[in-house]
């Protein structure tokens, strides 16, 4: 999950960041929510950045791993830190309580770690904490959910929420256009509507559909859980006796969405998922459900955040860029995964 950043034109694969960080492209899959560090999405530094530098301690904080994507975030961060002999990784206990997260990160600031990687429960509520760390001389890598002020972080890295919507809408539009459907009923199962990331995903979806002359039909918001997805989808299906297409924002949530669809015995439409979970990709490959595609929002961004934190703390730049310093903002691209290219992405999936 993330806050909106503009769609990066021409970047159709999220893997572009690997080369830019000056690291190798050897990636393996995260196989479960409790996966050992060695099975997470990591890459080893290459070129000048491979040389061990000044030892640094990187603090890390994220929400509780009660969601497959968040679990993969934590696994990937720890695994990436383990690739560097010059990095000490200090993670505080994950929590979904904003007050507890603030207190935990405060301990890392007091310890004067060399850099912080923070995926906040709520970017707005933790902005002051980011500013406190920056004022103390501790560079903050803001992961995914963005703080309210650029003064609260050194670098932001995350996925492209608006781009997810554009990718999903473009796939839906192209499929319906190819089928000759002129007045389709297009459903949407969103995430949490109060979050900017959900708003950005929905806006991108609606904008992309507009270019085909289509509009979003029945839309309901869930809560990024399988239980919420199942409940909300059951309601939407009851209210919509016919659908041509459905976009679900989140593949973890999609477990419940697919369960509701199966229970309702509805097969007249196709579905697009979101985030790129391994189980969603396996369903796409098997081609035995309504799920025909998913758009990426990879938790491998946590691995890249650790790599960035190391570079910033050691006053290094990104190996393939001319500039001497790490950029202040990096938006990863959102690719569309279908049966035709799923094997290319399957190893990068996370387990819901």
Q: Kindly state whether residue 344 falls inside one of the protein's structural domains.
A: no
Q: What is the mean pLDDT of residues 313-326?
A: 93
Q: Cα dist. 232→186, 219, 246, 279, 310 in Å? A: 16, 10, 13, 21, 42
Residue with tokens 């479960």, as numbered in its chain: 32
Q: What are phi and psi of 145, to 5 degrees?
A: -75, 115
Structure tokens at 302: 């946590």
Q: What span, in angstroms and rounded, lies between the C-alpha atoms of 54 and 273?
A: 43
Between strands 329-331 and 155-158, the pairing is parallel
Q: Are 5 and 329 in contact (CB under 8 A)?
A: yes
- Confidence at 14, pLDDT banded by 50, 70, 90: very low
Q: Cα dist. 217→157, 183, 206, 243 in Å? A: 32, 11, 10, 9
Q: Which of 296, 315, 345 is the last residue of a domain?
A: 296
110-163 pLDDT, tens digit per residue, is 999 999 999 999 999 999 999 999 999 999 999 999 999 999 999 999 999 999
Asked if residue 52 has pLDDT above 70, the reply is: yes
pLDDT at 15: 28
Structure tokens at 276: 């790129």
To the nearest whole number, what is the mean pLDDT of the chain?
88
* DSSP assignment letter at 246: E
274-292 pLDDT, tens digit per residue, is 999 999 999 999 999 999 9
192-245 pLDDT, tens digit per residue, is 998 889 999 999 999 999 999 999 999 999 999 999 999 999 999 999 999 999
Q: Is 59 helix (H, G, I), strand (E, B) or coil?
A: strand
* DSSP assignment letter at 194: T
325 in the same domain as 232: no
Q: What are phi and psi of 292, to 5 degrees?
A: -115, -10
Beta bridge partners of 88: 57
Three-point CA angle 85, 86, 89, nearest 5°: 90
Structure tokens at 321: 């860029």
Q: Kindly state whether residue 352 falls inside one of the protein's structural domains.
A: no
Q: Are 291 and 338 in contact (CB under 8 A)?
A: no
Alpha helix segments (H runs only) across the chain = 16-20, 68-81, 98-110, 123-135, 161-179, 196-210, 226-239, 251-263, 278-286, 301-313, 342-345
20 in the same domain as 148: yes
How many other C-beta atoms lie within 10 A of the C-beta of residue 339? 13
89 in the same domain as 69: yes
- Confidence at 26, pLDDT banded by 50, 70, 90: very low
167 in the same domain as 55: no
Q: How many domains does the chain have?
A: 2
Structure tokens at 80: 């990436």
315 in the same domain as 209: no
Q: Is 350 helix (H, G, I), strand (E, B) or coil?
A: strand
Choose between 206 and 3: higher pLDDT: 206
Domain holding 291, by residue range, is 161-296
224 in the same domain as 146: no
Residue with tokens 């904080």, as numbered in its chain: 61
Q: Is 152 helix (H, G, I), strand (E, B) or coil?
A: helix
274 in the same domain as 171: yes
Q: Are 291 and 283 in contact (CB under 8 A)?
A: yes
Asked if residue 12 has pLDDT above 50, the reply is: no
Q: Kindly state whether residue 337 falls inside one of the protein's structural domains.
A: no
Q: What span, in angstroms and rounded, lies between the C-alpha atoms of 158 and 211?
A: 26
Q: Cα dist. 345→65, 163, 220, 295, 342 in Å? A: 23, 18, 29, 11, 5
- Confidence at 254, pLDDT banded by 50, 70, 90: very high
pTM of the model: 0.83
For residue 267, give every residue at least 6 positions away whose Cβ sits within 8 Å of its Cβ, in sequence order, or none.
290
pLDDT at 43: 76
135 in the same domain as 179: no
Backbone Cα Rg of the chain: 20
Q: Is 84 helix (H, G, I), strand (E, B) or coil?
A: coil
CATH of the domain at 36: 3.40.50.2300
């Amino acid at each position: 999950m993330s806050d909106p950043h503009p769609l990066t034109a021409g970047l159709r694969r999220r893997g572009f960041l690997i080369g830019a960080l000056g690291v190798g492209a050897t990636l393996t899959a995260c196989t479960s929510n409790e996966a050992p560090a060695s099975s997470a999405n990591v890459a080893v530094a290459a070129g000048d950045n491979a040389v061990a530098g000044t030892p640094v301690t990187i603090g890390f904080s994220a929400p509780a791993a009660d969601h497959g994507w968040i679990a993969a975030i934590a696994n990937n961060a720890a695994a990436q830190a383990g690739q560097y002999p010059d990095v000490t990784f200090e993670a505080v206990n994950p929590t979904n309580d904003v007050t507890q997260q603030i207190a935990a990160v405060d301990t890392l600031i007091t310890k004067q770690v060399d850099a912080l990687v923070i995926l906040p429960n709520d970017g707005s509520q933790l902005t002051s904490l980011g500013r406190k760390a920056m004022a103390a001389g501790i560079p903050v890598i803001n992961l995914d959910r963005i703080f309210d002020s650029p003064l609260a972080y050194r670098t932001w890295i995350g996925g492209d929420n608006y781009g997810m919507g554009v990718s999903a809408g473009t796939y839906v539009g192209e499929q319906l256009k190819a089928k000759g459907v002129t007045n389709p009923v297009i459903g949407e199962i969103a995430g949490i509507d109060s979050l900017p990331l959900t708003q950005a995903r929905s806006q991108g979806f609606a904008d992309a559909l507009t270019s085909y002359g289509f509009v979003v039909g029945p839309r309901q918001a869930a809560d990024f859980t399988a239980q919420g997805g199942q409940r909300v989808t059951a309601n939407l299906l009851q209210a919509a006796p016919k659908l041509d297409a459905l976009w679900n924002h989140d593949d973890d949530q999609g477990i419940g969405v697919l369960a509701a669809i199966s229970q309702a015995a509805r097969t007249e439409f196709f579905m697009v998922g979101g985030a790129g979970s391994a189980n969603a990709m396996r369903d796409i490959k098997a081609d035995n459900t309504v799920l025909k595609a998913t758009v990426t929002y990879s938790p491998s961004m946590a691995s890249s955040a650790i790599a960035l934190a190391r570079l910033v703390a050691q006053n290094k730049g990104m190996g393939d860029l001319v500039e001497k310093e790490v950029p202040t903002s990096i938006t990863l691209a959102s690719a569309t995964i279908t049966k035709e290219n799923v094997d290319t992405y399957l190893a990068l999936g996370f387990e819901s």
